[in-house]
Amino acid sequence: MTARTLYEKIWDAHVVAQREDGTCLIFIDRHLVHEVTSPQAFEALRMAGRTVRRPELTLAVPDHNVPTTARVDAAGKRIPIADPQSAQQLAALEKNAPEFGIRYFGATAREQGIVHVVGPEQGFSLPGTTIVCGDSHTACHGGVGALAFGIGTSEVEHVLATQTLQLRKSKTMEVRVEGDLGPGVTAKDLIMHIVGAIGTAGGTGHVIEYRGKVFEQMSIEARLTVCNMSIEGGARAGLIAPDETTFAYLKDRPLAPKGAEWDEAVAYWKTLHTDEGATFDKSVVIDASVIEPTVTWGTSPEDTVGISGAVPDPMSFADPNKQRAAQASLDYMGLAPGQKLAEVEVQNIFIGSCTNSRIEDMRAAAEVLRGRKVHPNIKWGIVVPGSGLVKLQAEAEGLDKVFTEAGLEWREPGCSACLGMNPDKVPAGERSASTSNRNFVGRQGPGARTHLVSPAMAAAAAVTGRLTDVRELVREPA
Protein backbone atom coordinates (compact mmCIF):
# COMPACT_ATOMS: atom_id res chain seq x y z
CA MET A 1 0.00 0.00 0.00
CA THR A 2 1.24 3.49 -0.78
CA ALA A 3 2.41 5.66 2.07
CA ARG A 4 -0.41 7.87 3.39
CA THR A 5 -0.65 10.92 5.60
CA LEU A 6 -2.69 10.84 8.80
CA TYR A 7 -5.42 12.87 7.09
CA GLU A 8 -5.62 10.44 4.20
CA LYS A 9 -5.92 7.48 6.57
CA ILE A 10 -8.83 9.03 8.45
CA TRP A 11 -10.48 10.20 5.21
CA ASP A 12 -10.18 6.78 3.55
CA ALA A 13 -11.70 5.08 6.59
CA HIS A 14 -14.82 7.26 6.31
CA VAL A 15 -15.68 7.13 2.61
CA VAL A 16 -19.21 5.71 2.31
CA ALA A 17 -19.44 6.30 -1.43
CA GLN A 18 -17.57 8.20 -4.10
CA ARG A 19 -19.23 9.98 -7.03
CA GLU A 20 -17.71 10.11 -10.49
CA ASP A 21 -17.00 13.82 -10.07
CA GLY A 22 -14.81 13.05 -7.04
CA THR A 23 -17.26 14.20 -4.37
CA CYS A 24 -17.37 11.69 -1.51
CA LEU A 25 -20.08 10.81 0.94
CA ILE A 26 -18.20 10.87 4.26
CA PHE A 27 -19.47 9.25 7.45
CA ILE A 28 -19.53 11.54 10.48
CA ASP A 29 -18.74 9.80 13.78
CA ARG A 30 -19.36 12.67 16.17
CA HIS A 31 -21.55 15.77 16.00
CA LEU A 32 -21.53 18.56 18.57
CA VAL A 33 -24.50 20.91 18.64
CA HIS A 34 -24.92 24.27 20.37
CA GLU A 35 -27.77 26.74 20.59
CA VAL A 36 -26.77 29.30 17.95
CA THR A 37 -26.23 27.37 14.73
CA SER A 38 -28.77 24.57 15.26
CA PRO A 39 -32.34 25.96 15.59
CA GLN A 40 -32.84 26.38 11.84
CA ALA A 41 -31.49 22.86 11.22
CA PHE A 42 -33.92 21.22 13.65
CA GLU A 43 -36.75 23.33 12.24
CA ALA A 44 -35.91 22.17 8.71
CA LEU A 45 -36.01 18.52 9.85
CA ARG A 46 -39.37 19.09 11.44
CA MET A 47 -40.77 20.79 8.32
CA ALA A 48 -39.61 17.90 6.13
CA GLY A 49 -40.83 15.25 8.59
CA ARG A 50 -37.29 13.89 8.97
CA THR A 51 -35.69 12.33 12.03
CA VAL A 52 -32.14 12.32 13.43
CA ARG A 53 -30.52 9.21 11.94
CA ARG A 54 -28.11 8.41 14.80
CA PRO A 55 -29.00 10.50 17.87
CA GLU A 56 -26.31 8.76 19.98
CA LEU A 57 -23.60 10.24 17.75
CA THR A 58 -24.65 13.79 18.60
CA LEU A 59 -24.06 15.70 21.85
CA ALA A 60 -25.75 19.03 22.55
CA VAL A 61 -24.43 21.73 24.90
CA PRO A 62 -25.35 25.43 25.07
CA ASP A 63 -22.31 27.71 25.21
CA HIS A 64 -22.38 30.75 22.91
CA ASN A 65 -24.97 33.00 24.45
CA VAL A 66 -25.43 31.66 27.98
CA PRO A 67 -24.39 34.40 30.43
CA THR A 68 -21.38 33.55 32.60
CA THR A 69 -22.94 34.99 35.74
CA ALA A 70 -24.64 32.76 38.32
CA ARG A 71 -27.22 30.38 36.79
CA VAL A 72 -29.02 29.39 39.96
CA ASP A 73 -29.99 31.58 42.91
CA ALA A 74 -29.24 30.95 46.59
CA ALA A 75 -32.30 28.71 46.82
CA GLY A 76 -31.03 26.58 43.91
CA LYS A 77 -33.66 27.97 41.55
CA ARG A 78 -32.67 28.58 37.96
CA ILE A 79 -32.12 32.23 36.98
CA PRO A 80 -33.69 32.93 33.58
CA ILE A 81 -31.64 34.61 30.83
CA ALA A 82 -32.53 38.30 30.67
CA ASP A 83 -32.08 38.72 26.92
CA PRO A 84 -35.28 37.37 25.34
CA GLN A 85 -33.64 36.29 22.06
CA SER A 86 -30.89 34.34 23.81
CA ALA A 87 -33.48 32.79 26.09
CA GLN A 88 -35.46 31.75 23.02
CA GLN A 89 -32.42 30.10 21.42
CA LEU A 90 -31.60 28.24 24.60
CA ALA A 91 -35.23 27.16 24.96
CA ALA A 92 -35.16 25.88 21.37
CA LEU A 93 -32.16 23.63 22.10
CA GLU A 94 -33.70 22.43 25.37
CA LYS A 95 -36.75 21.38 23.41
CA ASN A 96 -35.00 20.05 20.29
CA ALA A 97 -32.45 17.80 22.01
CA PRO A 98 -34.93 15.56 23.88
CA GLU A 99 -37.46 15.68 21.05
CA PHE A 100 -34.89 14.22 18.66
CA GLY A 101 -33.35 11.88 21.27
CA ILE A 102 -30.04 13.73 21.65
CA ARG A 103 -27.98 13.70 24.85
CA TYR A 104 -28.01 17.19 26.31
CA PHE A 105 -25.91 18.88 29.00
CA GLY A 106 -28.11 21.79 30.08
CA ALA A 107 -26.98 25.23 31.23
CA THR A 108 -26.93 24.18 34.89
CA ALA A 109 -25.32 20.75 34.45
CA ARG A 110 -21.81 20.33 35.85
CA GLU A 111 -20.73 18.87 32.48
CA GLN A 112 -21.88 22.01 30.61
CA GLY A 113 -19.24 24.10 28.91
CA ILE A 114 -17.84 25.15 25.58
CA VAL A 115 -18.51 22.34 23.08
CA HIS A 116 -14.83 22.12 22.19
CA VAL A 117 -13.82 21.74 25.82
CA VAL A 118 -16.62 19.30 26.63
CA GLY A 119 -16.03 16.89 23.69
CA PRO A 120 -12.47 15.82 24.62
CA GLU A 121 -13.17 16.11 28.35
CA GLN A 122 -16.03 13.59 28.12
CA GLY A 123 -14.06 11.25 25.86
CA PHE A 124 -16.68 11.89 23.15
CA SER A 125 -13.94 13.18 20.83
CA LEU A 126 -11.71 10.23 19.95
CA PRO A 127 -8.67 9.69 17.72
CA GLY A 128 -9.40 8.75 14.13
CA THR A 129 -13.02 9.90 14.26
CA THR A 130 -14.66 12.52 12.06
CA ILE A 131 -16.11 15.29 14.20
CA VAL A 132 -18.22 18.22 13.05
CA CYS A 133 -19.99 21.12 14.72
CA GLY A 134 -21.65 24.29 13.52
CA ASP A 135 -18.64 26.25 14.71
CA SER A 136 -15.37 26.91 12.93
CA HIS A 137 -13.25 26.16 16.00
CA THR A 138 -14.20 22.49 15.74
CA ALA A 139 -10.69 22.16 14.30
CA CYS A 140 -9.74 22.04 17.99
CA HIS A 141 -10.46 18.31 18.33
CA GLY A 142 -7.56 17.58 15.98
CA GLY A 143 -5.59 17.80 19.23
CA VAL A 144 -6.73 14.26 20.05
CA GLY A 145 -6.08 13.08 16.49
CA ALA A 146 -9.63 13.50 15.16
CA LEU A 147 -10.47 14.93 11.74
CA ALA A 148 -12.64 17.77 13.01
CA PHE A 149 -14.05 20.75 11.16
CA GLY A 150 -16.67 23.45 11.31
CA ILE A 151 -19.84 23.35 9.22
CA GLY A 152 -22.75 25.64 8.43
CA THR A 153 -26.33 25.14 9.57
CA SER A 154 -27.43 23.44 6.31
CA GLU A 155 -24.66 20.91 6.90
CA VAL A 156 -25.78 20.52 10.53
CA GLU A 157 -29.18 19.55 9.13
CA HIS A 158 -27.53 17.19 6.63
CA VAL A 159 -25.54 15.43 9.36
CA LEU A 160 -28.54 15.15 11.67
CA ALA A 161 -30.61 13.58 8.88
CA THR A 162 -27.98 11.37 7.22
CA GLN A 163 -24.93 11.13 9.57
CA THR A 164 -22.84 11.99 6.49
CA LEU A 165 -21.58 14.97 4.50
CA GLN A 166 -20.93 15.38 0.78
CA LEU A 167 -17.30 16.51 0.69
CA ARG A 168 -14.31 16.80 -1.56
CA LYS A 169 -10.96 15.68 -0.25
CA SER A 170 -8.79 18.52 0.99
CA LYS A 171 -5.16 19.04 0.12
CA THR A 172 -2.58 18.14 2.75
CA MET A 173 -0.29 20.62 4.44
CA GLU A 174 2.49 19.95 6.88
CA VAL A 175 3.51 22.54 9.44
CA ARG A 176 6.77 21.17 10.79
CA VAL A 177 8.15 22.89 13.84
CA GLU A 178 11.81 22.39 14.56
CA GLY A 179 13.63 23.10 17.80
CA ASP A 180 12.20 23.89 21.21
CA LEU A 181 10.01 26.66 22.58
CA GLY A 182 11.81 28.94 25.00
CA PRO A 183 10.73 29.36 28.65
CA GLY A 184 7.47 31.31 28.95
CA VAL A 185 6.53 30.58 25.33
CA THR A 186 3.35 28.51 25.08
CA ALA A 187 1.24 26.59 22.58
CA LYS A 188 -0.82 29.76 22.07
CA ASP A 189 2.26 31.79 21.16
CA LEU A 190 3.30 29.04 18.77
CA ILE A 191 0.00 28.84 16.90
CA MET A 192 -0.29 32.63 16.72
CA HIS A 193 3.23 32.73 15.29
CA ILE A 194 2.29 30.02 12.76
CA VAL A 195 -0.84 31.94 11.68
CA GLY A 196 1.31 35.05 11.32
CA ALA A 197 3.77 33.12 9.17
CA ILE A 198 1.28 31.41 6.81
CA GLY A 199 -1.42 34.12 6.79
CA THR A 200 -5.17 33.74 7.29
CA ALA A 201 -5.56 32.14 3.87
CA GLY A 202 -2.36 30.08 4.10
CA GLY A 203 -4.20 26.83 4.81
CA THR A 204 -7.31 27.41 2.68
CA GLY A 205 -8.32 24.18 0.95
CA HIS A 206 -5.93 22.21 3.14
CA VAL A 207 -5.94 20.13 6.28
CA ILE A 208 -2.87 20.92 8.37
CA GLU A 209 -0.88 18.29 10.22
CA TYR A 210 1.37 19.73 12.93
CA ARG A 211 4.56 17.74 13.15
CA GLY A 212 7.71 17.87 15.22
CA LYS A 213 9.07 17.16 18.66
CA VAL A 214 7.38 20.24 20.12
CA PHE A 215 3.94 18.72 19.54
CA GLU A 216 4.99 15.28 20.78
CA GLN A 217 6.05 16.87 24.06
CA MET A 218 2.85 18.88 24.43
CA SER A 219 -0.04 18.04 26.73
CA ILE A 220 -3.44 17.40 25.14
CA GLU A 221 -4.66 20.76 26.41
CA ALA A 222 -1.83 22.47 24.53
CA ARG A 223 -2.46 20.41 21.38
CA LEU A 224 -6.13 21.40 21.48
CA THR A 225 -5.03 25.06 21.64
CA VAL A 226 -2.83 24.62 18.58
CA CYS A 227 -5.39 22.78 16.46
CA ASN A 228 -8.15 25.17 17.59
CA MET A 229 -6.63 28.07 15.66
CA SER A 230 -6.04 26.11 12.43
CA ILE A 231 -9.07 27.95 11.05
CA GLU A 232 -7.32 31.26 11.72
CA GLY A 233 -4.73 30.01 9.24
CA GLY A 234 -7.51 29.24 6.75
CA ALA A 235 -7.43 25.45 7.26
CA ARG A 236 -10.74 23.83 8.03
CA ALA A 237 -8.99 21.20 10.16
CA GLY A 238 -5.69 20.66 11.97
CA LEU A 239 -4.30 17.36 13.20
CA ILE A 240 -1.73 16.06 15.65
CA ALA A 241 -1.07 12.31 15.56
CA PRO A 242 -2.40 10.49 18.63
CA ASP A 243 0.19 8.94 20.95
CA GLU A 244 0.62 7.69 24.52
CA THR A 245 -0.15 11.19 25.83
CA THR A 246 -3.48 11.08 23.98
CA PHE A 247 -4.35 7.62 25.27
CA ALA A 248 -3.49 8.54 28.86
CA TYR A 249 -5.66 11.67 28.56
CA LEU A 250 -8.68 9.75 27.24
CA LYS A 251 -8.52 6.67 29.45
CA ASP A 252 -11.49 6.41 31.82
CA ARG A 253 -13.24 9.50 30.45
CA PRO A 254 -17.03 8.96 30.69
CA LEU A 255 -17.67 8.32 26.97
CA ALA A 256 -14.29 6.77 26.10
CA PRO A 257 -14.19 3.02 25.35
CA LYS A 258 -13.74 0.69 28.31
CA GLY A 259 -12.27 -2.77 28.95
CA ALA A 260 -11.56 -4.92 25.90
CA GLU A 261 -12.92 -2.20 23.60
CA TRP A 262 -10.33 0.20 25.00
CA ASP A 263 -7.50 -2.16 24.07
CA GLU A 264 -8.92 -2.64 20.59
CA ALA A 265 -9.31 1.09 20.18
CA VAL A 266 -5.75 1.83 21.28
CA ALA A 267 -4.41 -0.81 18.89
CA TYR A 268 -6.24 0.97 16.05
CA TRP A 269 -5.23 4.45 17.22
CA LYS A 270 -1.58 3.41 17.14
CA THR A 271 -1.86 3.01 13.35
CA LEU A 272 -2.94 6.65 13.01
CA HIS A 273 0.21 8.46 11.98
CA THR A 274 1.66 9.71 8.72
CA ASP A 275 3.62 6.91 7.06
CA GLU A 276 7.30 7.20 6.34
CA GLY A 277 7.60 8.49 2.77
CA ALA A 278 4.11 10.02 2.57
CA THR A 279 4.08 13.43 0.90
CA PHE A 280 2.19 16.65 1.62
CA ASP A 281 0.86 19.07 -1.00
CA LYS A 282 2.39 21.93 0.93
CA SER A 283 5.01 22.10 3.64
CA VAL A 284 6.01 24.92 5.97
CA VAL A 285 8.89 24.78 8.42
CA ILE A 286 8.88 26.93 11.55
CA ASP A 287 11.82 27.49 13.90
CA ALA A 288 10.45 27.31 17.44
CA SER A 289 13.52 28.80 19.05
CA VAL A 290 12.91 32.31 17.64
CA ILE A 291 9.35 32.58 18.94
CA GLU A 292 8.66 35.07 21.72
CA PRO A 293 5.48 35.44 23.74
CA THR A 294 3.29 36.70 20.90
CA VAL A 295 0.57 39.37 20.61
CA THR A 296 -1.58 40.76 17.80
CA TRP A 297 -1.45 44.41 16.77
CA GLY A 298 -4.21 44.52 14.14
CA THR A 299 -7.65 43.18 13.31
CA SER A 300 -6.65 39.93 11.63
CA PRO A 301 -5.18 36.92 13.48
CA GLU A 302 -2.25 37.03 11.05
CA ASP A 303 -1.24 40.44 12.46
CA THR A 304 1.14 38.95 15.03
CA VAL A 305 4.39 40.19 16.51
CA GLY A 306 6.68 39.17 19.38
CA ILE A 307 6.11 41.16 22.56
CA SER A 308 9.47 42.91 22.17
CA GLY A 309 8.37 44.16 18.74
CA ALA A 310 6.64 47.27 17.45
CA VAL A 311 3.53 48.06 15.43
CA PRO A 312 4.56 47.75 11.76
CA ASP A 313 4.34 50.52 9.21
CA PRO A 314 1.51 49.64 6.78
CA MET A 315 3.74 50.78 3.92
CA SER A 316 6.22 48.04 4.85
CA PHE A 317 3.91 45.43 3.28
CA ALA A 318 4.51 44.65 -0.39
CA ASP A 319 0.86 43.97 -1.27
CA PRO A 320 -1.15 47.21 -1.73
CA ASN A 321 -4.29 45.45 -0.46
CA LYS A 322 -2.44 44.46 2.70
CA GLN A 323 -1.17 48.05 3.06
CA ARG A 324 -4.74 49.33 3.00
CA ALA A 325 -5.93 46.60 5.38
CA ALA A 326 -3.07 47.32 7.81
CA GLN A 327 -3.82 51.05 7.77
CA ALA A 328 -7.50 50.38 8.44
CA SER A 329 -6.47 48.03 11.28
CA LEU A 330 -4.28 50.69 12.89
CA ASP A 331 -7.06 53.29 12.59
CA TYR A 332 -9.48 50.91 14.28
CA MET A 333 -6.97 49.83 16.93
CA GLY A 334 -5.84 53.39 17.66
CA LEU A 335 -2.17 52.48 17.20
CA ALA A 336 0.67 54.19 15.33
CA PRO A 337 3.51 52.59 13.32
CA GLY A 338 6.62 52.07 15.42
CA GLN A 339 4.75 52.00 18.73
CA LYS A 340 6.20 49.34 21.06
CA LEU A 341 3.64 46.66 21.88
CA ALA A 342 4.90 46.46 25.47
CA GLU A 343 3.83 50.09 25.94
CA VAL A 344 0.22 49.54 24.91
CA GLU A 345 -2.11 49.95 27.89
CA VAL A 346 -5.14 47.67 28.25
CA GLN A 347 -8.34 48.14 30.25
CA ASN A 348 -9.90 44.69 29.96
CA ILE A 349 -8.69 41.14 30.56
CA PHE A 350 -10.42 38.04 29.21
CA ILE A 351 -9.09 34.62 30.13
CA GLY A 352 -11.26 31.95 28.52
CA SER A 353 -12.66 30.68 25.15
CA CYS A 354 -12.35 27.32 23.39
CA THR A 355 -8.72 28.21 22.69
CA ASN A 356 -7.61 28.76 26.29
CA SER A 357 -10.03 27.73 29.05
CA ARG A 358 -8.78 24.30 30.05
CA ILE A 359 -7.28 23.48 33.44
CA GLU A 360 -3.71 24.09 32.28
CA ASP A 361 -4.69 27.53 31.02
CA MET A 362 -6.23 28.33 34.39
CA ARG A 363 -3.06 27.14 36.12
CA ALA A 364 -0.78 29.16 33.83
CA ALA A 365 -2.73 32.36 34.47
CA ALA A 366 -2.95 31.71 38.21
CA GLU A 367 0.78 31.07 38.41
CA VAL A 368 1.44 34.64 37.25
CA LEU A 369 -1.31 36.19 39.38
CA ARG A 370 -0.61 34.36 42.64
CA GLY A 371 0.00 36.95 45.36
CA ARG A 372 -0.30 39.85 42.91
CA LYS A 373 -2.96 42.48 42.32
CA VAL A 374 -4.60 43.68 39.15
CA HIS A 375 -3.28 47.08 37.97
CA PRO A 376 -5.54 50.15 38.39
CA ASN A 377 -5.72 50.48 34.56
CA ILE A 378 -7.84 47.35 34.46
CA LYS A 379 -11.55 48.21 34.56
CA TRP A 380 -12.88 44.73 33.85
CA GLY A 381 -11.21 41.36 34.04
CA ILE A 382 -12.84 37.94 33.96
CA VAL A 383 -11.68 34.35 34.07
CA VAL A 384 -14.12 31.95 32.42
CA PRO A 385 -13.42 28.22 32.79
CA GLY A 386 -14.22 26.14 29.70
CA SER A 387 -16.58 23.75 31.47
CA GLY A 388 -18.21 23.03 34.79
CA LEU A 389 -15.66 20.27 35.33
CA VAL A 390 -12.73 22.61 34.66
CA LYS A 391 -14.34 25.03 37.12
CA LEU A 392 -14.60 22.36 39.83
CA GLN A 393 -11.02 21.24 39.27
CA ALA A 394 -9.72 24.81 39.40
CA GLU A 395 -11.64 25.45 42.60
CA ALA A 396 -10.28 22.25 44.14
CA GLU A 397 -6.80 23.62 43.44
CA GLY A 398 -7.70 27.02 44.91
CA LEU A 399 -7.16 28.83 41.61
CA ASP A 400 -10.46 30.70 41.86
CA LYS A 401 -9.15 32.33 45.05
CA VAL A 402 -5.95 33.37 43.31
CA PHE A 403 -7.99 35.12 40.62
CA THR A 404 -10.49 36.80 42.91
CA GLU A 405 -7.83 37.89 45.40
CA ALA A 406 -5.91 39.46 42.52
CA GLY A 407 -9.05 41.34 41.50
CA LEU A 408 -10.43 39.30 38.59
CA GLU A 409 -13.94 37.84 38.42
CA TRP A 410 -14.41 34.06 38.42
CA ARG A 411 -17.30 33.09 36.16
CA GLU A 412 -19.52 30.25 34.98
CA PRO A 413 -18.48 28.35 31.80
CA GLY A 414 -19.33 29.53 28.29
CA CYS A 415 -17.98 31.29 25.20
CA SER A 416 -18.21 34.60 27.03
CA ALA A 417 -16.25 37.58 25.71
CA CYS A 418 -14.75 35.68 22.77
CA LEU A 419 -17.65 36.91 20.67
CA GLY A 420 -20.05 39.75 21.32
CA MET A 421 -23.27 37.80 21.62
CA ASN A 422 -23.72 37.42 25.36
CA PRO A 423 -23.47 40.02 28.14
CA ASP A 424 -19.63 39.76 28.33
CA LYS A 425 -18.35 42.49 26.02
CA VAL A 426 -15.44 44.89 25.78
CA PRO A 427 -16.60 48.55 25.59
CA ALA A 428 -16.07 50.53 22.38
CA GLY A 429 -12.65 52.17 22.12
CA GLU A 430 -11.20 50.13 24.99
CA ARG A 431 -8.53 47.48 24.68
CA SER A 432 -8.48 43.91 25.87
CA ALA A 433 -5.72 41.40 26.39
CA SER A 434 -7.71 38.33 25.44
CA THR A 435 -6.89 34.63 25.31
CA SER A 436 -9.50 34.09 22.59
CA ASN A 437 -8.82 33.46 18.90
CA ARG A 438 -10.15 36.36 16.85
CA ASN A 439 -9.23 40.03 16.91
CA PHE A 440 -11.72 40.96 14.19
CA VAL A 441 -13.36 44.38 14.08
CA GLY A 442 -16.22 44.32 16.59
CA ARG A 443 -15.63 40.73 17.62
CA GLN A 444 -15.65 41.40 21.37
CA GLY A 445 -18.29 44.09 21.02
CA PRO A 446 -18.75 47.06 18.67
CA GLY A 447 -15.59 49.17 18.63
CA ALA A 448 -13.68 46.82 20.96
CA ARG A 449 -9.91 46.61 20.40
CA THR A 450 -8.62 43.08 20.91
CA HIS A 451 -5.03 41.94 21.47
CA LEU A 452 -4.77 38.16 21.35
CA VAL A 453 -2.40 36.62 23.88
CA SER A 454 -1.72 33.44 25.90
CA PRO A 455 -3.25 32.95 29.38
CA ALA A 456 0.08 33.75 31.08
CA MET A 457 0.41 36.91 28.97
CA ALA A 458 -3.17 37.96 29.80
CA ALA A 459 -2.35 37.52 33.48
CA ALA A 460 0.84 39.56 33.05
CA ALA A 461 -1.15 42.35 31.35
CA ALA A 462 -3.60 42.28 34.26
CA VAL A 463 -0.73 42.86 36.69
CA THR A 464 0.97 45.69 34.79
CA GLY A 465 -2.01 47.27 33.00
CA ARG A 466 -0.26 47.02 29.64
CA LEU A 467 0.84 44.32 27.23
CA THR A 468 3.84 42.79 28.98
CA ASP A 469 6.45 40.15 28.41
CA VAL A 470 5.40 37.56 30.99
CA ARG A 471 9.02 36.45 31.29
CA GLU A 472 9.72 39.66 33.18
CA LEU A 473 7.30 38.53 35.89
CA VAL A 474 8.66 35.05 36.36
CA ARG A 475 9.64 34.45 39.95
CA GLU A 476 12.71 32.60 41.09
CA PRO A 477 11.77 29.11 42.25
CA ALA A 478 11.30 29.06 46.02
Q: Show contacts with other proteins in window 273-302 (CB under 8 A).
A: 300
Q: Which stretch binds other proteins (CB under 8 A): 52-60, 305-313, 342-350, 454-462?
A: 52-60
Q: What is the CA radius of gyration of the chain?
A: 22
Q: What region, left, alpha or beta, does residue 352 occupy, with left being phi > 0 and alpha being psi -120 to 50 degrees?
A: left
Q: Show contacts with other proteins in window 419-478 (CB under 8 A).
A: 419-421, 438, 440-443, 446
For the bound state, the minimum distance from the C-beta of residue 400 to other proteins, rounded and expressed in Å, comes to 28
- N residues, the chain: 478
**Cα(409)–Cα(388) distance, rounded to whole angstroms?**
16
**Cα(67)–Cα(416) distance, rounded to whole angstroms?**
7
Examine residue 209 and tell whether it contacts other proteins (CB under 8 A): no
For the bound state, the minimum distance from the C-beta of residue 21 to other proteins, rounded and expressed in Å, comes to 4
If you count DSSP H runs as helices and E runs as strands, how many of each does the chain have, helices first? Answer: 15, 19
Q: Which stretch binds other proteins (CB under 8 A): 161-169, 184-192, 401-409, 462-470?
A: 161-169
Examine residue 380 and tell whether it contacts other proteins (CB under 8 A): no
Size of the site for other proteins (CB under 8 A): 88
For the bound state, the minimum distance from the C-beta of residue 38 to other proteins, rounded and expressed in Å, comes to 9
**Cα(366)–Cα(251) distance, rounded to whole angstroms?**
27
For the bound state, the minimum distance from the C-beta of residue 138 to other proteins, rounded and expressed in Å, comes to 8
Q: Are the beta carbons of 135 and 421 closer than 8 angstroms? A: no
Question: Judged by CB, which is closer to other proteins: 425, or 466?
Answer: 425
Examine residue 401 and tell whether it contacts other proteins (CB under 8 A): no
Question: Judged by CB, which is closer to other proteins: 86, or 464?
Answer: 86
Q: Which stretch binds other proteins (CB under 8 A): 58-66, 215-223, 339-347, 370-378?
A: 58-66
Q: Show contacts with other proteins in window 7-36 (CB under 8 A).
A: 16-17, 19, 21-23, 25, 27, 29-30, 36
Q: Are the beta carbons of 431 and 462 closer than 8 angstroms? A: no
Examine residue 249 and tell whether it contacts other proteins (CB under 8 A): no
7, 268, 314 from 273: Cα distances, Å = 9, 11, 42
Examine residue 255 and tell whether it contacts other proteins (CB under 8 A): yes
**Cα(453)–Cα(459) distance, rounded to whole angstroms?**
10
Examine residue 162 and tell whether it contacts other proteins (CB under 8 A): yes
Q: Are the beta carbons of 234 and 200 closer than 8 angstroms? A: yes
- Determine which residue in the list 8, 63, 135, 361 makes contact with other proteins, applying CB under 8 A: 135
Q: Which stretch binds other proteins (CB under 8 A): 251-259, 373-381, 383-391, 406-414?
A: 251-259
- The rounded Cα 391 to chain-centroid distance in angstroms is 17
Q: How far apart are the first and last CA of the chain?
A: 56
The 24-27 sheet, strands edge to edge: 15-18, 24-27, 164-167
DSSP 356: S
Examine residue 136 and tell whether it contacts other proteins (CB under 8 A): yes
Q: Which stretch binds other proteins (CB under 8 A): 182-190, 199-207, 210-218, 372-380?
A: 199-207
Examine residue 198 and tell whether it contacts other proteins (CB under 8 A): no
Question: Judged by CB, which is closer to other proteins: 258, or 471?
Answer: 258
Provide the strand spans (E) within 264-353. Answer: 282-287, 294-296, 304-306, 348-351
Provide the strand spans (E) within 343-420. Answer: 348-351, 380-383, 409-410
Q: Show contacts with other proteins in window 59-118 (CB under 8 A).
A: 59, 64-65, 83, 85-86, 88-89, 92, 102-103
Question: Judged by CB, which is closer to other proteins: 54, or 176?
Answer: 54
Examine residue 377 and tell whether it contacts other proteins (CB under 8 A): no
Which H or E run contains 27?
strand 24-27
Examine residue 391 and tell whether it contacts other proteins (CB under 8 A): no
Q: Which stretch binds other proteins (CB under 8 A): 113-121, 153-161, 218-226, 378-386?
A: 153-161
